[in-house]
């Protein structure tokens, strides 16, 4: 794995890096520097074979959680940066938060939020360029919340014509969704093909009768579909 350390990061550098298959990580939440990383082996989740485990499908179908899109990006990325009992420190520092918030304002970075009532229970965020969604991080404050966010993301990406869901590193936790590891060479080929696609993150309609409500700035916020519709979309497009 090659690493380059920098103390500053800006949106244009970040976009170029992702197009080249490189992404930023910090060594800790309070680190001053950011590392530019290109793994020799890349984790991806093929959208055409995305799998929803049976138990999780029941949770999604039950609509135990309310799911929204791009409604609380700042809260989500900070939730991902929080320490947890199983992870005392994270790789998301202030420089990464700042640049991704700028990209969110430009409509390139996105979040999926998972709520119980008015309380944010989990979510994920990432970056969309062409037909690629670079999934950055996810978090849960309640069991299954981040997994529900990932299922809703997959349905949205498939409906929007995305071709590649990047998970950065191979992760056994993602194997249940059909994740696989590919070589750097193979990833670069998949990346090049997917970047040429004009995908639409907002093609998936909002839930009937639910108004999209969000901040006055940034990309449009949207309500997520009902769980049964999300599962049907994944099945139909698999």
Answer whether residue 136 is part of any domain: yes
Answer whether residue 62 is part of any domain: yes
Answer whether residue 31 is part of any domain: no
Number of structural domains, the chain?
1
The pLDDT tens digits of the residues spanning 79-123 come to 999 977 665 668 999 999 999 999 999 999 999 999 999 999 999
Answer whether residue 36 is part of any domain: no
**Global confidence as pTM:** 0.89
Answer whether residue 53 is part of any domain: yes
The residue-averaged pLDDT of 214-218 equals 46
d(CA 135, CA 155): 14
Answer whether residue 4 is part of any domain: no
Answer whether residue 5 is part of any domain: no
Cα-based distances in Å from 66 to 50, 60, 70, 146: 22, 10, 13, 12
Answer whether residue 59 is part of any domain: yes
Tell me, what CATH number does 150's domain have?
3.40.630.70
The pLDDT tens digits of the residues spanning 109-160 come to 999 999 999 999 999 999 999 999 999 999 999 999 999 999 999 999 999 9
What residue numbers bound the domain in which 231 lies? 41-236
């Amino acid at each position: 794995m090659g690493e380059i350390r920098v103390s500053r990061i800006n949106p244009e550098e970040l976009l170029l890096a992702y197009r080249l298959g490189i992404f930023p990580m910090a060594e800790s939440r309070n680190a001053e520097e950011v590392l530019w990383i290109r793994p020799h082996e890349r984790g991806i989740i093929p959208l055409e074979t995305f799998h929803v485990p049976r138990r999780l499908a029941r949770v999604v179908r039950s609509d135990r959680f309310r799911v929204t899109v791009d409604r609380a990006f700042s809260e989500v990325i900070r939730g991902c940066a929080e320490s947890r009992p199983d992870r005392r420190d994270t790789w998301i520092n202030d420089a990464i938060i700042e640049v991704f918030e700028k990209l969110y304002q430009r409509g390139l970075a996105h979040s999926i939020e998972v709520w119980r009532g008015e309380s944010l229970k989990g979510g994920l965020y990432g970056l969309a360029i062409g037909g690629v969604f670079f999934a950055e991080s996810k978090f849960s404050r309640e069991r299954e919340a981040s997994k529900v966010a990932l299922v809703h993301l997959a349905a949205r990406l498939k409906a929007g014509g995305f071709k590649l869901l990047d998970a950065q590193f191979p992760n056994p936790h993602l194997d249940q969704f059909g994740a696989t590891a590919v070589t750097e060479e193979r990833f670069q080929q998949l990346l090049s093909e997917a970047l040429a696609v004009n995908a639409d993150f907002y093609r998936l309609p909002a839930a009937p009768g639910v108004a999209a409500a969000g901040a006055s700035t940034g990309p449009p916020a949207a309500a997520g579909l009902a769980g049964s519709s999300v599962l049907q979309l994944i099945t139909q497009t698999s």
